[in-house]
Structure 1
């Protein structure tokens, strides 16, 4: 809930794209302070307060950094995919390193990596970029509830589509490891399968500008939905290794292509609309929809077992139908 509220309430307060870097620095500093506070005690009430504060200030960093990337795409024709792939690479390296450190030491290795990671992020944000983001702050009539209602009315098809496509990952994120281990795969094999998905993600991010140069956001959403129909259907149909390998390679279609479509759709907006829509996308599609669908996926997995993946496959069908009809490429 704190992550949802942080993305939805704090991120849109940055009305001028030229103030994005300053806002990111402040949020990164607050996030670091809460990360360091984890070391101060282990009482339940203290940890609850720290977790809420940490997520409240960390969550806006995601939509605001993507909004910064979208702003720079217009100014210097930056290749978003080649920048974003480093986040995926860092995730793989960080996860592997943290796991190794925890096995050698204890849970404090997690806190150490968290603190060092956020401190490094803050130091990077303190560097002065060669090109500062530029933009115009929203006018008086662009603020308030009316602006939000207009945003939802104009972009409800986009938001509903990405919520369905990203929410369909809930069963995968929550239950694929359990399901595959019950099918006889070792924990290390499951880890390799998950890593394969990230590798496919990195490859598509690296090649996205060249491969999808002629694709509109609407086209990319259709491609992502088709990949989802195949991927979730495969996971519901078989646990044979070739099928799982193909399903994991399709992660580059279900997640990466969908995210690239969202960035392309949002980048077509102007000024503070980019930040506002980025915040809603991060809070609702990347957060809220997955959280809600995880609850339903848990119930479905208990009663349908692998059938939950067929339900996720069905979610791609309405997503195909409600794609935004006219989107700038």
Structure 2
């Protein structure tokens, strides 16, 4: 009788451990994205333009900081180590931002560091999740959906907490959340050795990726579609509060949108058997144009719920399409770099420009900033049409 080791439980799998770290991070960013602009306005007295500058500076800088971190991460002997170190750095940086910064220029400087290191975690988590879920214990859609559930919890509970204790509660939530992310990564993630093999010409570093026309189309087109969420991420709370919507209701609205995103992600096996990543990107672009055009009229009441439901398409459909194509176009040797270059474009340069413009548009006319976002998503959709060229398709390709 052979002494075979019992099959590994899904809860002890690398996918489950990475999902735990992702959930802690998303449970933190769910409050940062929704309530940090409100904290800057109420607790620090900043204008929309000043808030836009603080939020956008780190996004612009990702064009430099992101690839540098990715270069080191792709070559680390232990691919889990950079994630652990950056999570710790993010906790320290946000503590300094909240307790040491006073006045616009100090907030800009400390906020740049805090936002930069926190944003650097996302491509590392995405790359680690794609690697871990490829082992088959848990699908990417399920893992990403669990992270989004954590984001929903942060939206709802964050709204309740800030309504009862004020926006100063954002400080406690963010520092506790980042501390949990650090703890989960240091004690939950096992060593993840980099494969010892030569870098291939297909994905060997920045040069090969930037020489891949299809890769460039993906990161620019999807970058525009995702950056079109800039006004929503930074100023939707301020617009809704000015319209008299309570913090609790705002948390529910955000959570509803992400709940539909989770439903979409958990339905991926069904969806991906019937469509392609390219089609998902185009669906996301169309939904973003319709959503932001309607939001520009500052609607109230029941119409907000179907508009929030469109988050499953404007964000999730485009995101999944991008992740699939990035995974296809880059080798494992440059997986983090591919994710980072996409993040630099979508969450860095384009999101930075989107956020900066949004701050000015919010000061001028409130919700009209959404119309600029609709135009941005439309341009991304037009560019994504190039992905449908027959010669660029892979006959008989399957989707994971």
Question: Which range, TM-score by smaller chain?
Answer: 0.7 to 0.9
Deviates more, 1:159-168 or 1:190-199: 190-199
In 1, Cα distance between the equivalents of 2:198 and 2:342?
19
* 1:287 corresponds to which of 348, 351, 361: 348
Counterpart CA distance in 2 for 1:303 and 1:106 is 27
Structure 1 residue 150 corresponds to structure 2 residue 221:
no
1:172 aligns with 2:215: no
C-alpha distance in 2, partners of 1:267/1:294?
Answer: 28
Aligned match for 1:6, one of 46, 65, 87: 65
Instruction: Output the CA distance in 2 between the equivalents of 1:210 and 1:130.
Output: 32
* 1:98-113 equivalent positions in 2, closer than 5 A: 98=158, 100-101=160-161, 109-113=169-173
Deviations 1:212-236 (A, max 9, x none): 3343220110111121232223323
Matched-pair contact (CA < 8 Å) for 2:293–2:370: yes
Kept after mapping to 1: 8 A contact 2:293/2:374: yes
Q: 8 Å contact 2:361–2:369 — kept in the other structure?
A: yes
Tell me the CA shift for residue 140 of structure 1. Answer: 9.5
Separation in 2, partners of 1:41, 1:130:
34
Contact 1:72–1:133 (CA under 8 A) maintained in structure 2: no
Contact 1:200 1:252 in 2 (8 A): yes
Deviations along 1:256-312, one digit per CA (max 9) or x if unpaired, are 111111111111121233211100111220233122123333444566665543443
Q: How far, CA to CA, are the matches of 1:306 and 1:53 in structure 2?
A: 29
| TM-score, structure 2 normalization | 0.69
Q: What corresponds to 1:121 in structure 2?
A: 181
Are 2:225 and 2:288, in contact at CA under 8 Å, matched by a contact in 1? Answer: yes
* Partner of residue 375, structure 2: 314
Q: Could you tell which deviates more after superposition, 176-185 or 204-213? A: 176-185
- Within 2, Cα distance between the matches of 1:146 and 1:51? 31
Corresponding residue for residue 336 of structure 2:
275
Please state if 1:230 is matched with 2:290.
yes
CA contact (8 A) 2:157 2:251 kept: no
Q: Whole-Å Cα distance in 1 between the matches of residues 224 and 289 of structure 2?
A: 12
Alignment partner of 1:262 is 2:347: no
- Superposed CA RMSD: 3.5
> How far apart are residue 36 of structure 1 and its match?
4.7
Tell me what 2:91 maps to: 32
Cα displacement string for residues 229-252 of structure 1 (whole angstroms, at most 9, x for unaligned residues): 322233235725333221110011
Aligned to 2:270: 210
- 1:106 deviation in Å? 6.9
In the alignment, which of 256, 268, 280 is matched to residue 196 of structure 1? 256
Question: What count of residue pairs does the alignment treat as equivalent?
Answer: 328
Q: Measure, in 2, the Cα distance between the counterparts of 1:279 and 1:63.
A: 6
Unaligned runs of 5+ in 2: 1-56
